[in-house]
Amino acid sequence: MINGRKWYTTGGRDASFLLVMARTSDDPLSGATLFVVNRHAPGVTYLRDIPVMAEPLLAHREGELSFDGVRVGPQDVLGGEGWGFALAQQRLVPARLTHCMRWLGLADRALQLSREHLNRRVSFGKRLGEHQLVQLKLAEGAMAVHAGDLMTLRCAWMLEQGLDHQEVKVWSSMAKTQVAQALCKVLDDAIQTHGGLGYSDDVPFARWYRYARAARIADGPDEVHLITIARALLKGRLQLLT
Ligand SMILES: Cc1cc2nc3c(=O)[nH]c(=O)nc-3n(C[C@H](O)[C@H](O)[C@H](O)COP(=O)(O)OP(=O)(O)OC[C@H]3O[C@@H](n4cnc5c(N)ncnc54)[C@H](O)[C@@H]3O)c2cc1C
C-alpha cells in the first residue's frame, strides 16, 4: 500500500500512469522500489497545479499528488524490488541529454535573435555589437553553448558505445550543468543587451528565462551534479581528454 505526497510531478495531471518511487526498506542502496501506478487508481488524488515562476512553455504543468492507501502488487513493480535507484539513474542519464538538446536549441536561438538586434541598434555612436563589453557577453555565451554541445555529444557517444549508465552518469551531470548554466547566462545577457526591450515580453527572452531558470534546479540542482563531478575527479575516474 502506498501512502505519501509528491509535489513536482511534471505532467502528472494528464498522465495515464505514474512511475512512483516508494520506500520498501531502510537499506540506503536498495530501499527504493519503482511502481507503475494507474493515475486514476483509488487513493491517487491530483491536488493542484503548482504555481511556478514561468508559464508552461510545453503543454504540461507541475503537479502535486497525494497517495492514500493506494494498493499495489508484484505485477506493478518495475524491474524488481529494491531496484528503484538503479532504474532511476538508468533513465535519468539519457533523459538529461534530451533536456540538454532542447536547452541548447533555445540558447542558440537566443544568440541568433540577439545578433540581429545588436547589428542594428545604435547606442553611443556605434552599433551595440561593436561595443566590447557586449562582444564579451556574446563570445562567452557562444563558447558556453559550444562547450555544452560537445559535452552532450560526448555523453551521447558513450551511451552509443554501450557504456554502463554508472560510467556515463558523471558525464551527463557535466553536460546537464554546463548547458543549464549556459542557457541561463545567454538569456540573462540577451535581456541585458536588449535593455528595456529585453525586459519586456515584446521579445521572448524574459519568458524563456523564467522557463530556463528551472534547468539549474530540476533533475538535481547544479551543486549536487558538481559534487558528482568532483568526487569522480578525486577518485581518478575522470579521463577528461579524448
Ligand atoms: C520545473 C521542475 C520540474 C520538476 N519535475 C519533477 C518530476 O517530474 N519528478 C520529480 O520527482 N521531481 C521533479 N522536480 C523536483 C526536482 O527534481 C527537485 O526540485 C530537485 O532535485 C531539487 O531538490 P529539492 O527541491 O528537494 O531541493 P533541496 O534538496 O531542498 O535543495 C535546495 C537547494 O540547496 C542546495 N543544495 C542541495 N543539496 C546540496 C548539496 N549537497 N551541497 C550544496 N548545496 C546543495 C541547492 O542550491 C538546491 O537548489 C522538478 C522540479 C522543478 C523545478
Q: Which helix (H) or strand (E) holds 190?
A: helix 165-193
Domain boundary among 56, 78, 100: 78
pLDDT at 57: 74
Quickly count: other Cβ atoms within 10 Å of residue 234's Cβ: 9
CA 71/CA 65 separation, integer angstroms: 16
Domain boundary among 28, 51, 78: 78
All three cell numbers of 141, joined, read 555565451
Query: Which of 5, 13, 224 has the most ligand 1 atoms within 8 A of CB, as the residue to mutate?
Result: 224
Answer whether residue 241 is part of any domain: no
All three cell numbers of 76, joined, read 506493478
Quickly count: other Cβ atoms within 10 Å of residue 212's Cβ: 25
pLDDT at 242: 83
pLDDT at 59: 79
CA of 219 to the centre of ligand 1 (A): 7
Which residues have a Cβ under 8 Å from the Cβ of 124 and sit 6 or more positions away? 131
148 neighbors 179 (Cβ within 8 angstroms)? yes
Residue 17 sits in which domain range? 2-78
Answer whether residue 239 is part of any domain: no
Tell me how many domains the chain contains. Answer: 2
CA 41/CA 68 separation, integer angstroms: 10
155 neighbors 168 (Cβ within 8 angstroms)? yes
Q: Residue 45 sits in a domain of what CATH number?
A: 2.40.110.10
Tens place of pLDDT per residue across the chain (242 aa): 999 999 999 999 999 999 999 999 999 989 999 999 999 999 999 999 999 999 887 778 999 999 999 999 999 999 999 999 999 988 999 999 999 999 999 999 999 999 999 999 999 999 999 999 999 999 999 999 999 999 999 999 999 999 988 899 999 999 999 999 999 999 999 999 999 999 999 999 999 999 999 999 999 999 999 999 999 999 999 999 98
CA of 115 to the centre of ligand 1 (A): 34
pLDDT at 206: 97
Query: Which of 219, 225, 226, 231 has the most ligand 1 atoms within 8 A of CB, as the residue to mutate?
Result: 219
Name residues contacting ligand 1 (CB within 6 A). Answer: 8-10, 62, 214, 217-221, 223-224, 227
All three cell numbers of 157, joined, read 557517444
Diameter over CA atoms, the chain: 72
Judge if 57 and 99 occupy the same domain: no
pTM of the entire predicted model: 0.95
Nearest residue (by CA) to ligand 1, atom 42, is: 223
Answer whether residue 240 is part of any domain: no
pLDDT at 60: 84
